[in-house]
Amino acid sequence: MHVGTSGYNFPEWKGTFYPAKFPESQMLEYYAQRLGTVEINYTFYRMPNAKTVAGWDAATPAAFTFVLKAPQRITHIARLRDVDDPLRYFLETARQLGSKLGPILFQLPPNFKKDVDRLNDLLTQFPAELRCAWEFRHPSWFADDVYDALRVGNAALCVADTEEGHTPLVATADFGYMRLRDEGYTQQDLEHWAQSVRTLGQE
């Protein structure tokens, strides 16, 4: 099991997670000494380049894992249509992380309704040796034909707990991906989610 947060470069964490006076340039290295994985939101807003990826690699130990969020150019602007070139470039750059590269997270916009054809097209293009997880934010996606498509591609349904709603607990791959993004989790809440992880792992 890998545990991490959605991002690491948060100045407001100084004095709590990070020391009070701490340079942002050293945040990833400090973070990676305490948690084993991180979700990178930077890649949602802009395509990473080789220099940026090399910096992430250099700042983290060999066993560290990066989850890169797919660029909005693919998920929000093109909405999975005709994304061969940007997807190819993004994955070629991401591969430079080597064994540190974890799943690619495709987070779709809340107003993007189910389109299994587009989902299948992208899954067909996605390299079999890489992993991907999908966070659907419109309820129309929570359907058997979507789950079947994900299973064919060994792609995980991202189980998300957010202010927008909750994802069904459905296993679609040989790995799982969970995002707990709400606020104020109690010990009882965390125990509930821990049991959910165990349940999914048995499916």
Task: Give dist(CA 194, CA 74) in Å, integer.
Answer: 32
Give the pLDDT band (50/70/90) at residue 189: confident
Predicted local confidence at residue 195, as pLDDT: 84
Give the pLDDT band of residue 197 (cuts 50, 70, 90).
confident
pLDDT band at 161 (very low <50, low <70, confident <90, very high): confident
Residue 145 burial (CB count, 10 A) = 12
Is 180 a residue whose pLDDT tops 90? Answer: no
In this prediction the pTM is: 0.93
Q: Domain limits at 117? A: 4-201
The torsion of the CA quartet 196, 148, 40, 164, rounded to 10 degrees, works out to: -60
Q: What is the CATH number of the domain that holds 29?
A: 3.20.20.410
Least trusted range by pLDDT, from 13-17, 47-51, 197-201: 197-201
Q: Across all residues in the chain, what is the average pLDDT?
A: 94
* Residues 62-79 pLDDT 10s: 999 999 999 999 999 999
Residues 134 and 163: beta-carbon distance below 8 Å = no
pLDDT of residue 191: 87
**Domain count along the chain:** 1
Question: How would you class 80 by CB atoms within 10 Å of its CB: exposed for 0-12, middle for 13-18, buried for 19 or more?
Answer: buried
